[in-house]
Amino acid sequence: MDVLTAYRPAFLENVPVSIQVIAFGAIAISAYIAYSLLTIERPLKGFPVVALTERGLSPKWSWYSAGTETVAKGLKEHNAPFQVITGTGPKIILPNRFADELRAREELNFPKAFEKEFFVNYPGFDGHRQGLIDDWFIQEITRVKLTQSLNLITHDLVDETTAAVHDVFGEDTEWHTAALKDNVAEMVARLSSRVFLGLPLCRNRRWLDIAKDYTIDSFIGSQLMRIAPPILRPVSYWLIPNCTRLRKQVRDARKLIMPEVERRKERAQKALEAGQKPPKTADTIGWMYEVGRGRQVDYVAAQLSLSLAAIHTTTESTAQALIDICRFPEVVQPMREEIIQVISENGWTKASLQKLRLMDSFLKESQRFTPMSTLSMNRYVEKELELSDRTVLPVGSRFLVAAAFQDPSMYDEPEKFKAFRFSDKRQEPGQANAWGHVTTNSSHLGFGHGQHACPGRFFASNEIKVILCHLLLKYDFDLVDGEVPPTINFEVNKSISPKSKVSLRRRKEEIVLDLESPS
Ligand code: HEM
Ligand SMILES: *[C@@H]1O[C@H](CO)[C@@H](O)[C@H](O)[C@H]1NC(C)=O
Ligand SMILES: *[C@@H]1O[C@H](CO)[C@@H](O)[C@H](O)[C@H]1NC(C)=O
Ligand SMILES: *[C@@H]1O[C@H](CO)[C@@H](O)[C@H](O)[C@H]1NC(C)=O
């Protein structure tokens, strides 16, 4: 007897199986239609819906498969607020001129803009839930503790870079090819984890894999869930392999991180009992303990939340910088000369990283030229808000602001890669601080803008600079077969293909970059 027959109610025994199947199908379909009608996210009133209808795309599919072009079409046709229909409902797109007035409006909420995107109530999305429950916690860890410690952690960054670069790209002095994305991700995961968790966890294989994969699995898992019709989401969640991976990552992260947290609490307790000060640590476990001020802290969710914000973004930016070094090789010599001069004169300090003006400009131009996203400033409207053009953003709506990376009124010859356009601008009177890598401006939304602009950007910028100093002096890089690695595009996002490769060979660095006594 098969399973179906075993569980078939008695009254169905005389009804042919084919009829049963059809009847069941009809009931399921009607239930689905009824449910969809009740829960469908209708377009907002008063904002034109933009889609590439001329290509036969529905609004939802237009956003999903060609988000960047859909937005470009809306901006061109309306030059005013309009809406797109995403897998989780409508979103308003605002032209760039609204960026400044929305910097610090108290009607807005940042984490709520992501609530529907990541299915925070499902197990595995713990990192996303952390941000939503307690947004200020990670903000305070990052903006206050991490940023204030940049001087203290510069040596750790250099130490970890020395070891990671050697492990990842090796010592081969002949030209050879290597994976680009995964190797950069490995370096970034090690450097970030050195500062987030300290030694020895930052070199733990399982943790590094979690740090690298958690973000991507959650992007893919939630994206597959967004495509599925809402009624099927509870089912699809259990079938999507990336959601299964998320649950395992959270379990394993707990096993790795909690013993370390306990060890440190004990150590601090013992010191206090002996009448001494608890040992100071330059990593986020200690900061979380302090910032928590005696409250219950979910250290694991908080670490995953940090990884979510930090690893993928920094990996993309660093990998893109390497691609640009290959595409525009004329930038290499000036940047090498700058590194040699600054580091040999000043050694490794926070201040020396600030003196790398050419590299700073190059990184900002790299972000401008190939942005990760053409939209920024994701926000949720908590209280009705009127814009300067009298447009009213309704309660419960979500919006994004268009970037202006290609705007010719902001950028001279925007279609050209000009590595040192920002360092040139900084030499104009009164502009010394206006165009730094970490300075946000409505014309450069690479780190967002306003109250919720990326609080990790000071750290990220320093981390990428330390990596680039080592890579530029220790290696020559080139494109493989002269080809720019392909990108993967979805919605408005662009990401370098995980299959991308780079050509490289070890060269002799002109000055000693490594610390004298590495750990
Ligand atoms: C190059 C690397 C990075 C890029 C391009 C980047 C970009 C961004 C952007 C665009 C936002 C949204 C800002 C807005 O909407 O106004 C953001 C937010 C955030 N980023 Fe970054 N980020 C990077 C690295 C990091 C790192 C290393 C950390 C942590 C150490 C971090 C922590 C955060 C946090 C916590 C938020 C949320 C801010 C809030 O809740 O108000 N980011 N980032
Ligand atoms: C998503 O899950 C599949 C199946 O386990 C896996 O092969 C793939 O690498 C995952 N994607 C990412 C980016 O982790
Ligand atoms: C896609 O871009 C949006 C808008 O900038 C951003 O909020 C979101 O985190 C990005 N998603 C991915 C997967 O990079
Ligand atoms: C953006 O840059 C322009 C040009 O330097 C400057 O006038 C403006 O004040 C900046 N905006 C912000 C918000 O800093």
Instruction: Output the tens digit of pLDDT for each of the chain's 519 residues.
Output: 444 444 555 656 677 777 777 777 777 766 666 666 555 568 999 999 999 999 999 998 999 889 999 999 999 999 999 999 998 899 999 999 999 999 999 999 998 888 888 888 899 999 988 888 877 888 889 998 899 899 889 999 999 999 999 999 999 999 999 999 999 999 999 999 999 999 889 999 999 999 999 999 999 999 888 877 778 888 889 999 999 999 999 999 999 999 998 988 888 788 888 888 777 777 888 888 888 877 788 999 999 999 999 999 999 999 999 999 999 999 999 999 999 999 999 999 999 999 999 999 999 999 999 999 999 999 999 999 999 999 999 999 999 999 999 999 999 999 999 999 999 999 999 888 899 999 999 999 999 999 999 999 999 999 999 999 999 999 999 999 999 999 998 888 899 999 999 999 999 999 999 887 655
Point out the annotated binding site. 454
CB 237 within 8 A of CB 223: no
Of all helices (H) and strands (E), which one includes residue 239? helix 233-239
Query: Ligand 3 centroid to 145 CA: how many Å?
Result: 26
Q: What phi, psi does 214 have (nearest 5°)? A: -60, -45
Domain housing 274: 125-372+405-441+446-506
Pocket test for ligand 2, best of 182, 224, 242 (most atoms within 8 A of CB): 242
Three-state SS letters, 400-453: EEECCCCCCCCCCCCCCCCCCHHHHHHCCCCCCCCCCCCCCECCECECECHHHC
- Rounded Cα distance, 124 and 111, in Å: 18
462 lines ligand 1 (CB under 6 A): no
- The answer, as to whether pTM is greater than 0.75, is yes
The total number of structural domains in the chain stands at: 2
Say if 130 falls within a structural domain. yes
CATH code of 424's domain: 1.10.630.10
Tell me, yes or no, whether 135 and 18 share the same domain.
no
Tell me, yes or no, whether 413 and 302 share the same domain.
yes
- Rounded Cα distance, 194 and 334, in Å: 30
- Write the DSSP assignment of 310-358 as a string of letters: HHHHHHHHHHHHHHHHHH-GGGHHHHHHHHHHHHHHH-S-HHHHHH-HH
Query: Ligand 1 centroid to 144 CA: how many Å?
Result: 14
Say if 107 falls within a structural domain. no
Say if 263 falls within a structural domain. yes
- Rounded Cα distance, 346 and 314, in Å: 26
**Which one, of 376, 377, 364, lies nearest residue 320 by Cα?**
364
Tell me, yes or no, whether 345 and 207 share the same domain.
yes
Tell me, yes or no, whether 21 and 133 share the same domain.
no
Say if 172 falls within a structural domain. yes
On the CB side of 286, how many CA atoms lie within 13 Å of its CA? 15
